[in-house]
Amino acid sequence: MQIMHKNDNHTKKLTSVQIAKLAGVSRSTVSRVINGYDNVPKATYDRVMEVIRENNYHPHLSGQLLVGKKTGTLGFFWIKGKGKRIALDELSSSYLVHVIESAAQMGYLVLTCILENLSDPKNIDWVNKIFMQGRIDAGIFIGVDNDEPLLEALIGGGNVVGIFDHFHPDRTEPNRISVNFEEDTGGKIIDYLHSLGHKKISLVLGDMDRYSSIKRKESFLAAIERHGMEIRPEWMCVGGIDELRGYDAAKEMLRKTAGNLPTAICANNDAVAFGVYKALAEANIVVPQQISVTGIDGHIRKLTPPLTTYAFDYHQLFSSLVTRTIAAVEQQADNPTTEFIKGQLLKRESCIQI
């Protein structure tokens, strides 16, 4: 590692060994201090930093950070869930592509990190170090709970954090940036099914720690109540956000309602709807002749029959998030901290008039 020493008339390159000699420490200690490791005693850390500042020494990248320059890099943190693998289908793969493209258009690079959760101490330490070491100017998070202590700590520490599917109306810090689906998605699907004559509707709900799942449940139930329809406890189950959970939930719902099946099933998202299709097929129940099915997302997987869904433009979602996150980094004025993106109902052959 080489370090620049600038004076009035010339630029001189020094090695970290020379910096260590000035501070009276080892070369490895200088490296740990420069890179932000936390296993350096405070007195030693302060002594090394004092030498760096007094002599105007700047390590190649870390030195830029010491004088307040930006890295031009965003961190993309994908929280996949414990024990899960990210299903790199055409929809989920597009998340990363949209983030990279949107960042590139504004001259930023993207550092990608895939983690199981944000509760494991090792993961918490890893994320904190990436921010503390100044490797990134801001973090983009996807797959997090709406109440996530680590994110609150990062935001509280002044870091710029962009979050997909996250909203707290009482928290408006300029460094808390979010993007969300429109909140009445579930209600619009219920309205459509009601217009087709459906009154017995099952709900396969999502992960109740996710903001979108919370709002979809609220809007499903509000619309059912508005239309005066019945919602039976056995018609409502939690299917998470993936196909396997949707399959398991639908199987259990069908078992409980064998003598009083619904005429339609609303899935929290398209992946859950794929699981519903599988459970119905195994039970020899035909879609849509016996039960209509809806999803939410706009997934393009080919199904028979094609799935009725409420579709969103994911390029628009992530472009909004990345653009406003970078605007927060650059402290641009009039930068909205959150945005709700509207979708559209795609009427396909998985629903029929009854």
Confidence category of residue 80, pLDDT binned at 50, 70, 90: confident
CATH number for region 185-312:
3.40.50.2300
CA distance 353 to 195: 8
pLDDT tens-digit map of 108-163:
999 999 999 999 999 998 999 899 888 999 999 999 999 999 999 999 999 999 99
pLDDT tens-digit map of 155-166:
999 999 999 999
Which residues of the chain does CATH 1.10.260.40 include?
A: 2-66
Per residue, the 3-state secondary structure of 270-330, as one string, reads HHHHHHHHHHHHHCCCCCCCCCEEEEEECCCCCCCCCCEEEECCHHHHHHHHHHHHHHHHC
Which residues of the chain does CATH 3.40.50.2300 include?
A: 73-182+315-343, 185-312
Its pTM stands at 0.80
What fold does the segment set 2-66 form as a domain? 434 Repressor (Amino-terminal Domain) (1.10.260)
35 C-beta neighbours (distance < 10 Å), count: 16
Residue 292 φ/ψ, nearest 5 degrees: -80, 150
pLDDT tens-digit map of 287-312:
999 999 999 999 888 899 999 999 99
12, containing H or E segment: strand 11-15
- pLDDT value at residue 35: 66
Residue 343 φ/ψ, nearest 5 degrees: -115, -165
pLDDT tens-digit map of 2-58:
344 444 333 455 667 788 889 999 888 887 777 666 678 989 988 888 887 776 665
pLDDT at 316 over 70: yes
CA distance 240 to 75: 26
What fold does the segment set 73-182+315-343 form as a domain? Rossmann fold (3.40.50)
